[in-house]
Structure 1
């Protein structure tokens, strides 16, 4: 994007009462942001949703001056940026009607990765929640997903740290400009995230830090990912808003259940109860429900001559030895185990090089 077009985008972004959806409609009508700003009053007044009140702001110099200042910040700090019309804009976010017209990025990671999940939840994560996230991300690591979260306390930072520990890319979506980090205690994770992922935001360096920013930020977390996973959540909270947004985008939403009396499980349990999220208890559940397959080139394994199998693995191995290949549900039925448990066992067996997945959620011995 050329500098004058970026300035035009920034100017439109600064005009009050003109949101991302309206700006996209204007650009669709006049082709570029600069051409929108070049229009005369008479032309703009003919458009639906552009009344005299909004129109007045189009020609106020203060918005152009503010855009010039933000442009200077972007240039001086070498901030990467992209508009919703650019190829390097997150593909799934392009299909969200209220997705930001501009994204600002700091870090090494682009958005081309196909497997991308958002992990969200309470800021007051329990020890059980922390352990679950670490194991969950570790089990997903062979599939090399990109982990998205909000860099906040609790579940967010635990998800980022787990991704970094497993050598996975991670994206932190901020509720403020790239001129600051919140919370400050997480500053020690800035360089690792930049090196192994990126920080992104649609907020300016001059934007005031406000609680409502987090709700606006959540649409990016929900929109850029294939699925949103809620680990722990109280009865009310920002992660439930993210889940609602993801549902509105027709994205998969998953929630980890907890005991009925646990305060930090009420939100997840309600999502499952109201059918706003699918229940998962492990990475294997997510892999099964998203129909992900482990690609050999991501994490090659060599079949060992003498692989140690536990009792349940031996039951499945003996069954597949008799039938040759079978679907997951039928393996569970014949081996008299829950489907979710068999999915987890098969994942472990695949990592050991004992079985391999086939189309149609079938499995056979290697």
Structure 2
């Protein structure tokens, strides 16, 4: 492991240093290593740090803990993805509360063109499990990766259906990768590493404490283009994931259920309050997302663009990678100012290459 990774891991192990603070420190100091080389006086002068946190940074056991963490990482084939790493999930990168560092064990690309999250109750009905399995199978022609949380119920049903149909599937967990929780899902998790992966923001020894699961849900919501809720009550992790997906401007879908059925109250509420699209089948999702099966099976029409200048090509290449992006994320990724980017996007629309969707989001035609 190189020094950059070592100091990046150490930075996230400092008490009270979360996602926003880590980025703030990196920005002012010029890198993770520079944070540890800064004096306490220099640190406390950084906006938002203050004397107590500056003292914690200079006197924490983070460097010692990072050495131990890197030993575990190297022994178990785990990848460390800091937010400056090109392999870090680009869908997460520009979210305000995204984790600065992720631990990943698996083979699936975290920046594939299409991603779908499937969440739901831990106690689904047989019909709910069947619907989940049917949704996964019918997503196969669209070339997606499927994300869930490895929990009991709908989560594990989605993962297992992906394994049955050789669809890449990512399990976002609320603990370190030293363990599998729940332990009953160990065999499925090991299979997922071969055709998908396990993803966590927590160092290896972190226990699956209750407060970490809502934090995990923001990663599920941020990683997806579309989030599907299959059976949920009015409160719980699935409703948190749906709210976060809405906050991140992701498309949310809910499978409706019978009125007065507790396990469908959350889905029905999401639809009724216009926080989710009604979903009776994958065709509903494909219609809203403007996805065509032929797009997943071959990319021929996407290669038939007319001659573009380098800046236009950069926009097209970015949309090829992520399919649907808000204008502010395009601006940050390409480092284009708003007026110049607006002109580029308008020109590409006139050429019939991109189209705009509600919420100032853009996709290739």
Structure 1 match to 2:227? 228
Check the 8 A contact 2:146/2:162 in 1, yes or no.
yes
* 1:12-60 residue CA offsets vs partner (Å, 9 max, x unmatched): 2111221111111221222211112211222222221111111110111
Within a 5 Å distance, the mapping from 1:129-168 to structure 2 comes to 129-168=128-167
CA displacement at 1:299 relative to structure 2: 8.0
* 1:175-205 residue CA offsets vs partner (Å, 9 max, x unmatched): 1111101111111212321111111111111
Structure 1 match to 2:45? 46
Structure 1 match to 2:126? 127
Distance in 2, Cα, partners of 1:61 & 1:216: 24
Distance in 2, Cα, partners of 1:41 & 1:121: 47
Structure 1 match to 2:340? none
Distance in 1, Cα, partners of 2:78 & 2:296: 33
* 1:71-90 residue CA offsets vs partner (Å, 9 max, x unmatched): 11111222112111111111
Structure 1 match to 2:81? 82
CA displacement at 1:255 relative to structure 2: 0.9
Distance in 2, Cα, partners of 1:74 & 1:33: 19
Structure 2 match to 1:244? 243
Check the 8 A contact 1:137/1:163 in 2, yes or no.
yes
The 3-state SS of whatever aligns with 1:59 is helix
The 3-state SS of whatever aligns with 2:227 is strand
Where does structure 2 lack aligned partners over 5 or more consecutive residues?
300-353, 356-365
Within a 5 Å distance, the mapping from 1:161-200 to structure 2 comes to 161-200=160-199
Structure 2 match to 1:96? 95
Structure 2 match to 1:18? 17
Runs of 4+ in 1 over 4 A off after TM superposition: none
Check the 8 A contact 2:141/2:296 in 1, yes or no.
no
Q: 1:187 to 1:272 in 2, by over 3 A?
A: same
Within a 5 Å distance, the mapping from 1:212-223 to structure 2 comes to 212-223=211-222
Check the 8 A contact 2:115/2:146 in 1, yes or no.
yes
Check the 8 A contact 2:40/2:58 in 1, yes or no.
no
CA displacement at 1:228 relative to structure 2: 1.0
Check the 8 A contact 1:105/1:201 in 2, yes or no.
yes
Deviates more, 1:187-196 or 1:84-93: 187-196
Distance in 2, Cα, partners of 1:10 & 1:299: 39
The 3-state SS of whatever aligns with 1:97 is coil
Within a 5 Å distance, the mapping from 1:300-339 to structure 2 comes to none
Q: 1:138 to 1:215 in 2, by over 3 A?
A: same
Where does structure 1 lack aligned partners over 5 or more consecutive residues?
301-358, 361-366
Deviates more, 1:105-114 or 1:85-94: 105-114
**2:283 is the alignment partner of 1:284:** yes
Structure 1 match to 2:107? 108
Check the 8 A contact 1:169/1:196 in 2, yes or no.
yes
TM-score (norm 2): 0.79
Check the 8 A contact 1:142/1:299 in 2, yes or no.
no
Distance in 1, Cα, partners of 2:163 & 2:115: 15
Check the 8 A contact 1:122/1:234 in 2, yes or no.
yes
CA displacement at 1:118 relative to structure 2: 0.5
CA displacement at 1:258 relative to structure 2: 0.8
The 3-state SS of whatever aligns with 1:216 is helix
Distance in 1, Cα, partners of 2:296 & 2:118: 25
* Bigger Rg, structure 1 or 2: 1
Structure 2 match to 1:298? 297
CA RMSD of aligned residues (A): 1.7
Q: 1:193 to 1:274 in 2, by over 3 A?
A: same
Check the 8 A contact 2:180/2:186 in 1, yes or no.
yes
Check the 8 A contact 1:160/1:170 in 2, yes or no.
yes
